[in-house]
Amino acid sequence: MKKIIPIGPYHPLQEEPEFFKLYVDGETVVDIEIEIGYNHRGIEQISTTKHYDQVTFAVERICGICSTSHPFAYVNAVEDLLGIDIPIRAKYIRSIIGELERLHSHLLWLGLAGHFIGYNTVWMWSWKYRESVCDILELISGNRQHYSMFKIGGVRKDITKELIPQVEKMCNDLVAIFDMFKGAVMDDPVIHARLKGVGVLTKEDAIKYCVVGPTARASGIDIDVRRDDPYAAYGMVEFNIPVLNNGDVFDKAVVRILEMYESIKIINQCLSGLKKEPEGNIETKVDFIQPGEGIGRHEAPRGEVFHYIRSDGSNRPVRHKIRAPSYMNVASNKVAAVGQTISDAAITLAAVDPCYCCTERTTVINLNNKKSILCWNDLIKLSQEKTEKLKNNYAK
Amino acid sequence: MGLIKKSLLKSLWVFHLPLSPCNNCDIEILDTLTPKYDLERFGIQLVGSIRHADILLVTGVPNYKNWQKLKYLYEQAPKPCFVVAVGTCACGRGVFKDSYNSPANVDEIAPVSAYIPGCPPKPEAIIDGIVKLINILKNAKK
């Protein structure tokens, strides 16, 4: 008997609110339908009614978890239109903020992934350590989220030389924590059994569905805007891009953990670069935005963000097009989740990168009498029970 | 002190409704439950159903696809139920005031008992807002 599991209506577990309908046959997911639009706020239209400086703040409000990615891509687009170069100090600061955001976003994901497979300790731990990343961001920008550090032509705030050692120490303290998480994920046989071979996205499917970011890199596609099309300070620093080949949830987790080490590496190089640059030189003045068009890209924690700006010479953009990474990544669930059992569906859908605000809105509905059988909590419980069972098996 | 009020003050259960937020307020709400702030030690807990909740935490701007749901949820909640608007969007729609897809403020759809402004409010601010609400309840006559 075929049943439908609606995940939504407007807040499933993903970053951007969508509505998933899982068609299940017994325990197996046979099809998935995706509907979006529940979080539509008309940002592209709003940004054509604001002047260029205000748009930086408006696009920051697209997403709270990657709240630097959108301003980053937007200022890249406007600077592409203007054809200007920004001071090196500003470039370093931009990259530092971008990488700190990647750290907090990946830690957040790791915690939620732990929660979905029944490791609530991992959830609490990684959110606890995420606080120290938030503290660094608060130290630099004055706010825990929505840092408002970017402006066209530079950054709004400098990282002074008194701050640098403190930030350096706080960042390097995180490495021990990543070691712990890496050990916890890599060495635990239960996690191996639970995540390996689950939600596999093959390289062919990944190319077909145009996935980006860690989702693509876990499927063996070596893409990263930071290296392929360097912007800000990414052309001036050394870093590796971890690529794994299996495309399952395990690899998606490992790619994110390895990426956090690279982020620390980038931040350290940027901080030592900052020490050499004269303080205070953090922006190029922009008086006038000429007619024309520009594109900007940024490697957000979830993948490539793309912004397009068209100007007619007035103080407002006439067209502002935004493409966020989850839009592509979410569609890949269509192949990753199909053929899985329901108890694996939670973590498979979450592997693309989940968002919290949604976890209580799933029900399994029996088509015959329209009665709710399972809710999202039950799904998580199912998932956690499976882990528990595996744990007991290993204990024997 | 009535039984309902007494039990309310001991443990407020919270249902979290994200309308169309940017996730920031939602992260901060969740943050208050994690080890650094740990609100659960005061009996405050997130619950999965509005029928178990004493507080409806609303974040984000209502839009045409979801503003009705806030109304339905408030109607379904066992009274007394206090609506708390978290963040600038829920308090007064912020930058989305002029959006073509934002029909009304949260307080035009359901009665709001407490506003916690900020974009996003810090976890401390959220805790402070809830504590103020508890104090008002404590000093209320009924």
Rounded CA-CA distance B115/B126 in Å is: 10
Q: Residue A37 has what pLDDT?
A: 67
Say what angle helices A52-60 and A69-82 make with each other, to 10 degrees.
Answer: 150
Q: Give, for A18, the enclosing helix (H) or strand (E).
A: strand A18-25
Cα dihedral sign, A378-A383-A355-A73: negative
Q: Which residue from A minimizes the CA distance to B17?
A: A357
Query: Quick one: average pLDDT of A143-155?
Result: 89
Residue A267, helix vs strand vs coil: helix
Cβ atoms of A241 and A102 within 8 Å: the answer is no
Contact B23 A40 (CB under 8 A): no
- Chain A, residues 359-378, CB within 8 A of chain B, namely 360, 375-377
Per the model's pLDDT, the better-predicted residue between A35 and A94 turns out to be A94
How close A271 comes to chain B (CA, Å)? 27
> Which tokens in the block code for residue B96?
């989305």
Rounded CA-CA distance A253/A31 in Å is: 24
Q: Residue A267 has what pLDDT?
A: 93
Q: Which residue from B minimizes the CA distance to A17?
A: B20
Contact B48 A45 (CB under 8 A): no
Cβ atoms of A52 and A78 within 8 Å: the answer is yes
pLDDT band of A378, cuts 50, 70, 90: low
Cβ atoms of A5 and A348 within 8 Å: the answer is no
Phi/psi at A4 (nearest 5 deg)? -115, 130
Domain borders along chain B are 15-139
Query: Quick one: average pLDDT of A336-358?
Result: 67
Per the model's pLDDT, the better-predicted residue between A192 and A384 turns out to be A192
Per the model's pLDDT, the better-predicted residue between A380 and B52 turns out to be B52
Q: Give, for B90, the enclosing helix (H) or strand (E).
A: helix B87-92
Rounded CA-CA distance A135/A100 in Å is: 11
Domain borders along chain A are 2-38+328-395, 43-324
Q: Are strands A18-25 and A2-7 parallel, antiparallel or unpaired?
A: antiparallel
Q: Which of B36, B99, B120 sits opposite A146 (nearest CB)?
A: B120
Q: A45 pLDDT exceeds 80?
A: yes
Cβ-based contacts of A59 with chain B (< 8 Å): none
Burial class (CB in 10 A: 0-12, 13-18, 19+), A338: middle
Task: Report pLDDT digits (tens) over A179-201.
Answer: 988 887 778 888 888 888 888 88
Contact A61 B119 (CB under 8 A): yes
- Chain B, residues 86-115, CB within 8 A of chain A, namely 94-96, 98-102
Burial class (CB in 10 A: 0-12, 13-18, 19+), A114: buried
Q: A113 pLDDT exceeds 80?
A: yes
A177 interfaces chain B, CB cutoff of 8 Å: no
Task: Report pLDDT digits (tens) over B54-72.
Answer: 888 888 888 887 888 888 8
Q: Residue B134 has what pLDDT?
A: 86
DSSP A136-200: HHHHHHS-SS----EETTEESS---TTHHHHHHHHHHHHHHHHHHHHHHHHH-HHHHHHHTTSS-
Per the model's pLDDT, the better-predicted residue between A345 and A211 turns out to be A211
Mean pLDDT of chain A: 82
Cβ atoms of A17 and A31 within 8 Å: the answer is no
Q: What is the CATH number of domain A2-38+328-395?
A: 3.30.390
Q: Residue A86 has what pLDDT?
A: 92
Q: Residue B1 has what pLDDT?
A: 56
Contact A41 B96 (CB under 8 A): yes
Phi/psi at A210 (nearest 5 deg)? 55, 40
Cβ atoms of A122 and A184 within 8 Å: the answer is yes
How close A272 comes to chain B (CA, Å)? 31
- B3-12 long-range contacts, Cβ below 8 Å, gap at least 24? B4/B80, B5/B137, B5/B140, B5/B142, B8/B54, B8/B80, B8/B137, B9/B134, B9/B137, B9/B138, B10/B43, B11/B42, B11/B43, B11/B44, B11/B45, B12/B43, B12/B44, B12/B54, B12/B55, B12/B130, B12/B134
Rounded CA-CA distance B99/A321 in Å is: 16
Q: Are strands A292-300 and A303-311 parallel, antiparallel or unpaired?
A: antiparallel
Contact B30 A127 (CB under 8 A): yes
Cβ-based contacts of A124 with chain B (< 8 Å): 34-35
Q: Residue A376 has what pLDDT?
A: 57
Q: What is the mean pLDDT of each run of 10 residues along chain B (142 residues)?
A: 75 84 84 85 81 87 83 87 90 86 88 90 90 85 60
Task: Report pLDDT digits (tens) over A300-316.
Answer: 888 888 999 999 989 99
Fold of A43-324: Cytochrome-c3 Hydrogenase; chain B (1.10.645)
Q: What is the CATH number of domain B15-139?
A: 3.40.50.12280
How close B120 comes to chain A (CA, Å)? 7
- Looking at residue B51, the DSSP 8-state letter turns out to be G
Q: Residue A217 has what pLDDT?
A: 92
Residue A253: HSE in the Cβ half-sphere, 13 Å Cα cutoff: 29
Query: Quick one: average pLDDT of A145-171?
Result: 90
Q: Which of B23, B49, B99 sits opposite A64 (nearest CB)?
A: B23
Contact B96 A46 (CB under 8 A): yes
Q: Residue A266 has what pLDDT?
A: 93
Contacts of A235 (CB under 8 A, 6+ apart): none
Q: Which of A40, A355, A377 sits opposite B101 (nearest CB)?
A: A40
Q: Which of A64, A127, A145 sits opposite B34 (nearest CB)?
A: A127
C-alpha angle A69/B100/A43, rounded to 5°?
A: 10
How close A396 comes to chain B (CA, Å)? 33
Contact B99 A46 (CB under 8 A): yes
